A = this chain, B = another copy of it.
């Protein structure tokens, strides 16, 4: 087991109707003037925004609104929000939405305390040193951003989608009501399930084989999510399934599944190139295509681990490790398909641009992506090609 630091300071308020308490919770923390960020029509149509505003008003919390965060949130929007946050002197930012809105808020929070352009943080040119506190009312189970230390932002001018990881990105608190995800379409629900599984599996498939406890916790999360995912796609209003997926989204990405081993998130890096380039590709759907492709490419470097994954997560009964490993990868891919996910890049109507995507991943062949084996330009190109 490698040394590690575990830091999950985000307080979670989980359960039915919890969003109605938001004003009260914020008042307990002592914040007085907040920024409210949200996406497009859905939170307005559903009445959620009105519920939240009513709660804020009841608790005499002043707020400024920044609606219109897009999926794959954009740096241009964040820059606007930073200007507003500075001008209005807000002391906290509340995200009402899923990973995109939360990530937009995280970047806004970092930028509002910085004197440089916030894109510098995404590019690793500068390190953030302070941030306004961020909290959320979660409406989508997927990104795990509600408890993670990372945030991803897209720069359309540069065709780049970049993450920034810092402990400053940990939310102060997260309000999580599974009922708020009832209205998600099956496709988005499935995308979330894949994202949660990918966060868990990226950390599971590493070079460290001496982390039995972390292994077993990861397998638990996978088994619970696989089962709940099937139910939620079929029966959107199943509270238990929605609750399992929502709580798993946080646990898969808050650090728990990575304790004691190296974490690369290699497939995420490949997928960020894909959905950074093609804005219509949902992150989870991109992962559903790329994860099995990546796994088929790397499993030979640790057949035993892939065989364990097959047996413990997919209940594969096969004594030969190599055969079991392959069967496990197939079971994963079949599962993604069974919940309505694509299995090839063709299904996105994307031309074969493996070279272009490999270029993006490697910054024009100037770097490699860490994984079990180092993924260089050639390997990444081959993985993308195998997805057509």
Residue positions of A touching B, CB distance < 8 A:
1-9, 11-16, 18, 210, 212-213, 216-217, 219-221, 223-225, 227-228, 239-240, 243-244, 247-248, 251, 256, 259-260
A224 to B5, CA, bound (A): 20
Is B8 a contact partner of A8 (Cβ separation < 8 A)?
Answer: yes
The reply to whether A259 and B14 form a contact with Cβ atoms under 8 Å apart is yes
With contacts A216-B220, A220-B217 taken as known, whether A12 is within 8 angstroms of B7 at the C-beta atoms is yes
Chain B residues, CB < 8 A from A244: 1, 212-213
Closest B residue to A8 by beta carbon equals B8
Of chain B, the residue at the smallest CB distance from A212 is: B224
**Other-chain residue from B4, B219, B248, B251 in contact with A15 (beta carbon distance below 8 A):** B4
Q: How far is the CB of A110 from chain B (nearest CB, A)?
A: 20
Cβ of A312 to closest chain B Cβ, rounded Å: 10
Query: Do A12 and B5 touch (CB < 8 A)?
Result: yes
Query: In this complex, what residue of B is CB-closest to A220?
Result: B216
The minimal Cβ–Cβ distance linking A177 to chain B, given in whole angstroms, is 9
Q: Which of B5, B240, B251, B259 contacts A210 (CB 8 A)?
A: B240
Partner of A4, one of B9, B14, B239, B256: B14
Task: Give chain B residues whose Cβ lies under 8 Å from the Cβ of A15.
Answer: 2-4
Closest chain B CB from A267 CB (angstroms): 23
CB neighbours (8 Å) of A16 from chain B are 3
Give bound CA distance, A215 to B360, whole Å: 42
Instruction: List residues of chain B with CB within 8 A of the CB of A14.
Output: 3-6, 259-260
A259–B260 Cα distance when bound, in Å, is 23
In angstroms, Cα B25 to Cα A377, docked, is 41
**Closest partner residue, chain B, to A12 (CB atom):** B6
CA distance A243 to B13 in the complex (A): 30
Picked from B1, B11, B217, the residue with its CB within 8 Å of the CB of A243 is B1
Q: In the assembled complex, which residues on chain B have CB atoms less than 8 Å from the CB atom of A247?
A: 1, 213, 259-260
User: How far apart are A213's CB and chain B's nearest CB, in angstroms?
Assistant: 4
Chain B residue, CB-CB nearest to A241: B212
A228-B212, A247-B259 known; A5+B1 contact, CB < 8 A? no
**Which B residues are CB-close (under 8 A) to A12?**
4-7
| Bound complex: CA A212 to CA B256 (Å) | 18
Q: Is A213 a contact of B248 with CB atoms below 8 Å?
A: yes
Q: What is the CB-to-nearest-CB distance from A308 to chain B, in angstroms, rounded to a whole number?
A: 13
Nearest B residue to A176 via CB reads B6
Q: A4-B15, A216-B221, A217-B251 are in contact. List 18 more A-B contacts (CB 8 A).
A: A3-B14, A6-B11, A6-B14, A8-B8, A9-B9, A9-B11, A14-B259, A210-B240, A212-B227, A212-B244, A213-B220, A213-B221, A213-B224, A213-B225, A213-B251, A216-B220, A216-B223, A219-B220
